[in-house]
Amino acid sequence: MTGALPALPVLLPALGAGMSLLRLPRPVMRGLSIGVLTAVVACGTALLVLADRHGPQALHVGGWPAPLGITLVADRLSSLLLTVSALVALAVLLFAVGQGTAEDRRSSAVVFHPAYLVLVTGVSLAYLTGDLFNLFVAFEVMLAASYVLITLDADENRTRAGMTYTIVSLTSSLLFLSLVALVYAATGTVTLAQLGPRLAELPDGLRSALALLLLSVLGIKAAIVPLHFWLPDSYPTAPAPITAVFAALLTKVGVYALLRTQTLLFPRTGVWMVLACAAALTMIVGILGALAQDDLNRLLSFTLVSHIGFMLFGIALFDVQGLTGTILYVVHHIVVQAALFLVVGLTVRRTGTAALHRMATRPRPGPLAVTLFVVPALSLSGIPPLSGFVAKLALLRAGVAQGTPAAYVLAGTALLTSLLTLSAMTRVWMAAFMGRPPGRLEERPGEPSGTGRDRRGGTRLMLAAAAGMTTTGVAVAVCAGPLAGLGERAAEDLLHPREYRSAVLEGSQR
């Protein structure tokens, strides 16, 4: 029905990355990247509509049916996250163009655009792949691109942080590859649609060991406490748009992979206590780490870690309400986290520092930047009627409905974490946005150079990108009803994957 449509979100950015290596003129390279990401957003939207109306859309690459060939599958969950992620990637690209990160020098332009499109290729493949091995490949594609981006025009500190990020990621990759080999040896397949029934036939001890190994591998990717240590030391060193796209997408791909594999491969009933403990620990340790920070980027990075715990909360409940809450929270957090890091980029550009105690003595950003911070900050804290409140309310209702002691503990931890998040955001507000006259966004030493007109145009583009993300976050709250309905249907698909398996295994030996 869909032809090659499921392949386009992977194929288009990969081809665009190849064309970007041809040393095209800057306007052409810029237009190519923006056009490719716009097309990916359109493809994701089309796949979402088709999956919601007609069920999962599968493409057997090369005409080879599963498990012999590569199968790409777009269901409600993968299509929704693909669309939101591509939209965020497009907004961050526009911010990077405005800031000059993408094009401050000829060499940077040649490297940034292909690396950025390769990153989007990996993200799209992770959402759409139908087998465990190509999920591993998708993470490797993202790793290669993210290492290039995090060390672009790097100084000593950024290179050191990039090495930490790469070493941890490679360790996780070795564990992941070992897991794929063990799963194949035990079941004879790596196709996700086949693995659930075959893993259920294994001895309980072996099955539990594989589930814990998979949780550990994806726990590193998703920055689950205590496997989070690499993130606060890596993300804050990168330029603002790179940090924004990493924070918005990379950990969420890990959460998506955890959501997909645990429901397909290791279905459960009732609360999964291991993940429930990890969720509570992640929420508390992350937010306490944020409260201890003076550097604004590190503060937001620890907050990012903390709010991964909210997503684990819903997965740990392992019912429709809990998974619906997780899906809503992932969508909310992708948009809001990107908006916050983009606004922080604007703020640091104006003040010349990311240290909160120094920001308190510098002219504050203008009223638009203030508004663009306060809306996502309140949303992250769960203040009604914003998207964070909608997602947290769904999780809390799921916890209360579950009615077990573990669910109540998770709900109480989520409420405490929300209050501490509000405290952290208030601290940032007081230091960076209050008490001083507003100043004009202007170029600081070490920033990309250009004419005054270029700088003014770049600042307007940066503000527009940040405003677009903030507006999208508000739109998520406004559309909470339809989005919750879509999330509930996606959660039903995860817990009852008969249509997913049928779409993948059609015409093959099941």
Q: What Å distances lie between residue 210 and 44, 213, 221, 225, 494, CA to CA?
A: 32, 5, 17, 20, 20
Q: Is the pLDDT assigned to residue 103 strictly greater than 60?
A: no
| Lowest-confidence segment of 34-43, 159-168, 404-413 by average pLDDT | 159-168
Place of tokens 């589930």: 211
Residues 6 or more apart whose Cβ sits within 8 Å of residue 306: 282, 283, 284, 285, 286, 287, 289, 290, 417, 421
State how far the Cα of 122 lies from the Cα of 140, in Å rounded to an integer: 8
Please answer whether residues 283 and 424 qualify as being in contact, where contact means their C-beta atoms are separated by less than 8 angstroms. no
Please answer whether residues 347 and 240 qualify as being in contact, where contact means their C-beta atoms are separated by less than 8 angstroms. no
Cα three-residue angle 160-164-168, rounded to 5 degrees: 170
Per-residue pLDDT reduced to its tens digit, 61-86: 877 777 778 899 999 999 999 999 99
State the pLDDT at residue 147: 86
State the average pLDDT over residues 391-406. Answer: 92
Q: How many residues does the chain have?
A: 510
Distance between start and end Cα atoms, the chain: 22
- Note the pTM of the prediction, 2 decimals: 0.91
Please give the mean pLDDT across all residues of the chain: 87
State the pLDDT at residue 102: 56
State the pLDDT at residue 439: 54
Q: What Å distances lie between residue 202 and 115, 133, 196, CA to CA?
A: 41, 20, 10
State the pLDDT at residue 1: 44
State the pLDDT at residue 450: 44
Q: Is the pLDDT assigned to residue 453 strictly greater than 70?
A: no
State the average pLDDT over residues 26-46. Answer: 93
Phi, psi dihedral angles at 353 (to 5 degrees): -155, 150
Per-residue pLDDT reduced to its tens digit, 415-444: 999 999 999 999 888 887 775 555 554 444
* Sequence ranges of the domains in the chain: 268-443+450-478
Per-residue pLDDT reduced to its tens digit, 251-270: 999 999 999 999 999 988 88
